[in-house]
Amino acid sequence: MIKPVLLWSDALILLLLLTVAALVWLARKNDTFRAPWRQVMASRMGAATALILAVYAGIGLLDSLHYVERLPSAPGQTVQYSGEVRSALDALLTPLRENVEKTYSAPFATHLYAKETVQGPDGRETRDFPRLKHGGAHLADPEKDFWGDVFERAGLGLLGGWVVWLLWRSWFGCRSGGARFGLPGGGCTVAGPPRRYTTLLIILLTFGVLLALAPHYHVLGTDKVGQDVLYLSLKSIRTGLLIGSLTTLIMLPFALALGIAAGYFGGRIDDAIQYLYTTLNSIPGVLLIAAAVLVVQVQIEAHAEMFNTAAARSDVRLLALCAILGVTGWTGLARLLRAEALKLRELEFVQAARAFGVTDARILLRHLLPNVMHLVLITVVIDFSGLVLAEAVLSYVGVGVDPGMISFGNMINGARLELAREPVVWWQLAAAFVFMFVLVLAANLFADQVRDALDPKSRGRV
């Protein structure tokens, strides 16, 4: 039996999803809003990066469905729940999570990376690399069977991925609604340009191979305490996505309200808001964040009794980090919005609305807000990748997420000294690098497409 747990960050993700869904629903009939997105999705780069980001988001969402397991208890006893909060992703990755080795092992290794005293079949003790408990444990003779087994499983995985891809293509390729949802290749284009499906094919093949191999081998090796690196990498995704998206959610109200108000009302209000953001801007960013995080840390320690599980505690710390990044990060967008509102308030349609006696609140909501939305969207997508990168740096400085939380920053931090080891342990760094690079690169390229589609100034620019 399980009981779902709604952590604060899960609730906020839900809120974020609902907001986005509501916005999409509101704007679904509006061609002005839809045209740029259609342009993004029509470009090969836009569709490919959106697909990659969607895969990451899917993993992050699976990792946000939390639950606790019921502990076995005798009938009549009060029901007890485990203190360990798990997610749907953990459940899916159970073999990865539970196949813990003793210490480092290289990717696809069948033996440990460190020598140990092993007792041979004849009772003699020798120093040797012991077999892994889980990685390749099903092989009778690793040296002989290894390559055959790996190729067989990988081949099956590739075949599976390819079949799913074919099915997908024939299924969605002939649905006229495909394009509307941003699925690659709408319309009846099974024989159409195969490039549309290349990204999907690559993703499906990767998934197939991983699915076939990961339960039997440590595809990306294990870390110092023997945890599977692939598992760590997949778990890090949620943290990175959360920082990138929740920060925006917290930052937006500040930036929108203050930026537009400063530009529209001018005068004293403008002075006050400008003073506020000049002051915030003048403090070195990392230091302000560090200072605020230190303060929050002390407060969390002082009220430790409020958080009953480790997950709840690190969750609150993560949220605090997002809040701090949001509260310190609204200045850039606010400045852009202020300039835009200054310009807009002199335009005829705003003047006309004012002449008709429309209230300020209504003018702001109906006439200004929709006209600055493109700036907001562009900033949001551009900031996203920066925030994912910032998490790693902040965690390294020691003011990022909870040290016990699985995140890219903590992975890098833990693996940093492994390169200085002899022999070198490179796989944890490499895994964090690849997973982060793909995410941030996709986000950057997607942001470029969105900016090109939404910003009239950059349109047509190379």
Partner 1 sequence: MLNYILRRVLYAIPILLGVNLLTFALFFMVNTPDDMARIHLGAKHVTAEAITRWKSEHGYDKPLFLNAAADGVGKVADTLFVEKSLKLFVLDFGAADDGRDIAREIGQRMWPSLAIALPTFLVGLLAYLSFALLLVFFRGTALDTGGVILCVALMSISGLFYVIGGQYLMGKLWHWFPISGYQPGLDAWKFMVMPVLVSLIGGIGDSSRFYRALFIEEIGKDYVRTARAKGLSDLRVLFKHVLGNAMIPILTGVVVVIPRLFMGSLIIESFFGIPGLGSYTIDAIQAQDFAIVRSMVFLGSLLYIVGLVLTDISYTWADPRVRLE
150 binds partner 1 (CB under 8 A): no
| Burial per residue of 117-146, b for 16 or more beta-carbon CB atoms within 10 angstroms, e otherwise | eeeeeeeeeeeeeebbebbbeebeebeeeb
d(CA 42, CA 189) in angstroms, rounded, equals 14
52 binds partner 1 (CB under 8 A): no
459 binds partner 1 (CB under 8 A): no
Q: Tokens representing 254?
A: 């500040």
Burial of 259: CB neighbours in 10 Å, binned 0-12, 13-18, 19+: buried
> Are 78 and 67 spatial neighbours (Cβ–Cβ below 8 Å)?
no
Segment interacting with partner 1, rule: CB under 8 A, options 118-126, 166-174, 193-201, 298-306: 298-306
CA 329 to each of CA 12, 175, 318, 408: distance values in angstroms, whole numbers, following the listed order: 19, 42, 16, 21
281 binds partner 1 (CB under 8 A): yes
Residues 302-321 interacting with partner 1 (rule: CB under 8 A): 302
81 binds partner 1 (CB under 8 A): no
Measured over the CA atoms of residue 349, residue 351, residue 355 and residue 360, the dihedral's sign is: positive
Measured over the CA atoms of residue 276, residue 277, residue 278 and residue 284, the dihedral's sign is: positive
404 binds partner 1 (CB under 8 A): no
DSSP classification of residue 346: T
286 binds partner 1 (CB under 8 A): yes
Segment interacting with partner 1, rule: CB under 8 A, options 164-172, 226-234, 276-284, 362-370: 276-284
Neighbours of 434 (CB within 10 A): 12
Secondary structure of residue 68 in the 3-state scheme: strand
287 binds partner 1 (CB under 8 A): yes
206 binds partner 1 (CB under 8 A): no
Neighbours of 63 (CB within 10 A): 25
- Considering beta carbons, is residue 226 or 409 the nearer one to partner 1? 409
- Considering beta carbons, is residue 343 or 416 the nearer one to partner 1? 416
Residues 424-453 interacting with partner 1 (rule: CB under 8 A): 429, 433, 436-437, 440-441, 444-445, 448
Instruction: Find the shortest distance in angstroms from Cβ 422 to partner 1.
Output: 10
Segment interacting with partner 1, rule: CB under 8 A, options 129-137, 175-183, 289-297, 330-338: 289-297
Contact code string over 335-374 relative to partner 1, x by CB under 8 A: ----------------------------------------
- Considering beta carbons, is residue 150 or 339 the nearer one to partner 1? 339
396 binds partner 1 (CB under 8 A): yes
CA dihedral 450, 455, 459, 462 (to 10 degrees): -60
Residue from 283, 347, 352, 365 in contact with partner 1 (CB under 8 A): 283
Measured over the CA atoms of residue 355, residue 358, residue 363 and residue 367, the dihedral's sign is: negative
Find all residues with CB under 8 Å of 231, minimum gap 6, and list them. 93, 96, 97
- Considering beta carbons, is residue 70 or 303 the nearer one to partner 1? 303
The residues of the shown chain that bind partner 1, judged by CB under 8 A, are: 275-276, 278-279, 281-284, 286-288, 290-292, 294-295, 298-299, 301-302, 385, 389, 392-393, 396-399, 408, 412, 416, 419-420, 429, 433, 436-437, 440-441, 444-445, 448, 461-462
